Chain A
């Protein structure tokens, strides 16, 4: 009896202890919920071939988070910026997204790759967590191509491929007076095909003609085979929708082959590194970019970034900066911090003033209406030509 009593007692004590613990932890949770920071996720390529953009975005996010927190946070709550590595790969980016959702984020900013965001968008809708793509430019990022309907939870900060290709195509035909063009496609990237199609439409509409296409694969390093073929087509301009490191290789090899045809490229050329890698070889070429550091209002951000990190920022840095302020703006308009309310507020955004220009969201496509900046490469410098719409 006595023994049994002790056992009972110890069991009772255990039970009591557990109850106490649970009670404490639950009340602890409740209490801390009001002061816990708002978690905002970021996915970028932090370690792969294109880590230059992922890291530029991550650094800008940390800097902007500090700035917002110092000014009182969002609706009185501090924010916590959580960067995750997506390696520029769809599978890794989806894993990163799921892991961020498990950590209880309000929304996710990133990535800058259409291939990654196309994979994440349906999952974002399933989990009801808004996804704000930075400079990913493919239509399919925000619109389900099978149904033609917008992904309710997928947004973007930058413009689309269709848009920038039309700007380039029109400029080539009307301002550069080019009669013919050929395209050199990166077959590993969707945007290369989309941009060729839309460049062609705008170019033909303005009296030009396409003389042919060749294609290659990023990572091949040697492109002289295709360049030799391109040179034989004798186009007035060559559309080159590749990432800047390949652009550098292609331009240098074209120079080696004695080619003097100017190249035109989209925002995937946009990196301060490009001039160091292939400035002289790109003489006379044009590219268009998200409105970025040519805008005077970006100067304080640029200087603060350089002072803090010691490197030049990328357009991606501005996109992440704008993304965070856009989330802040939407939360304040919604009056609460909640993923579903945030989504509604993002969708109804009118004329939000970001450093990359104002954002007004088209409810049918979630594409912001904005302008594209055009740059001319001369004397190994990028010279700002102006902002254009197609």
Chain B
């Protein structure tokens, strides 16, 4: 049972990690928590659903459309909701409040246009599992974990090894200096929103496949946010570590202590990290956590 619970935890944790990495990207650059990130994932899930049910396109194409669509919505959200606040040099808190507003707007938009019903993608990937020495591995889980690992490795390479990544790192370390040295900061911000949106879109479709599709499904981003804080806000590897840690911890606490106390443990861990190591497991020293 222990191994099975670890597998359960890894499967949930990998989804947290995927969403948390998008959170972290935006935090590292702009220093605010984008509360609408989970809702962008939700929009991605719905784009795939609509493409599949109304557009009758094959599922792989629906996924591509969802990822592209979520990226565009994310980039648009920056242009509509955040850019003005940023250019006015308003407090970071304003950005966070704008993000909350955007989150409610997106949820209600979907509720009014598509409806509140719980939906699924149907039998795209049938519910099946492989038994391996007493442990049951869901086919969908293996697929999800595989995709997530590939996506996260690609993200690591993109940030660490390319000119684009260098620009992002420069802008996140000091935006003014970077722009003085000739980095087009606004362009980079837009691209990072696009990238975060692409990750959100991917997460949305995977969530829809694993669970259901509904307008408030983005609320899972709260756990991803905790994962970010635990791993260190603004650090992408930290977000991944935090996501997996929380997923496995939840499974073990749920399995061996009490499933009712699971969330209490998660939040206790959050408080402990904030008290003992406020910058998180792998975080930089951050003063203003808005």
Contacts and interface: CB of A to CB of B under 8 A. Distances in A.
Given A49-B214, A228-B5, A273-B117, A216 B259 contact: yes
B120 A228 contact: no
Interface stretch (A15-23, A197-205, A255-263, A362-370): A255-263
Interface in B104-147: 108, 111, 116-118, 120, 127-129, 131, 136, 138, 140-141
A337 interface: no
Interface in A237-252: 245, 248-249, 252
Contacts of A255: 127
Contacts of A187: 260
A245 B140 contact: no
B259 A225 contact: yes
Interface string A276-297: 1100110000000000000000
Contacts of B11: 222, 224
B52 interface: no
Interface string B8-27: 11011000000000000000
Interface residues of A, number: 33
A52 B9 contact: no
Interface in A217-238: 217, 219, 221-222, 224-226, 228-229, 232
A47 B108 contact: yes
Interface string B257-269: 0111011000000
B211 A249 contact: yes
Contacts of A221: 207, 210-212, 220
A72 interface: no
A222 B12 contact: yes
Nearest to A259: B136
Contacts of A273: 117-118
Interface residues of B, number: 38
Nearest to B261: A215
A134 interface: no
A55 B214 CA distance: 16
A229 B259 contact: yes
A270 to B, nearest CB: 14
B199 to A, nearest CB: 19
Contacts of B219: 219
A48 interface: yes
A302 to B, nearest CB: 19
A3 B141 CA distance: 91
Nearest to B260: A215
In this complex, the member of B127, B140, B258 whose beta carbon has the largest number of chain A beta carbons within 10 angstroms is B127
A214 interface: yes
B120 A277 contact: yes
10 contacts: A216-B259, A221-B212, A222-B211, A225-B262, A228-B5, A229-B1, A229-B259, A256-B136, A256-B140, A257-B136
Interface of A: 47-49, 51-52, 55, 187, 214-217, 219, 221-222, 224-226, 228-229, 232, 245, 248-249, 252, 255-258, 273, 276-277, 280-281
Given A257-B4, A257-B136, A257-B138, 19 more contacts: A47-B108, A47-B111, A49-B116, A51-B111, A52-B118, A215-B259, A215-B260, A216-B254, A216-B259, A219-B219, A222-B211, A224-B11, A225-B8, A225-B262, A226-B259, A228-B4, A229-B259, A256-B128, A256-B129
